[in-house]
Amino acid sequence: PKGGDATIHWHTLAYRSYNPFRGKGLMKAFTKFALDEYTRARPGIQLWTAIHSDNVASIGLSKALGLEIDDALTKEVGESVIMVRK
């Protein structure tokens, strides 16, 4: 994300789920597995994602994966919520 400490190694998190798989509880376990493998191979990175503010399910998934809303960065972009995991 823009702003903040330029020495941080930010990596972007993005995921997508399509019908008929939405709402089946598949994303949390799979995305957690993928993130664990990804971050294990890249120590010291930090993750960020931008989620439309009305996408409650995606915000909940990101929170379950350990990301938190960054209020300062969110204010900069308007209609999206910026979430980070440090």
The pLDDT of residue 63 is above 90: yes
Torsions phi, psi of 11, nearest 5? -125, 140
pLDDT at site 31: 95
Sequence-ordered list of residues with C-beta below 8 angstroms from that of 46, at least 6 positions apart, any chain: 8, 9, 10, 11, 84, 85, 86
For the chain, give the mean pLDDT. Answer: 90
CA angle 30, 55, 43 (to 5 degrees): 40
The pLDDT of residue 77 is above 90: no
* Cβ neighbours of 85 (radius 10 Å): 17
Rounded to whole angstroms, the Cα distance separating 57 from 25 reads 11
pLDDT at site 2: 61
Could you read off the pLDDT of 2-23 as tens digits, one per residue?
655 667 889 999 999 899 988 8
* Cβ neighbours of 81 (radius 10 Å): 21
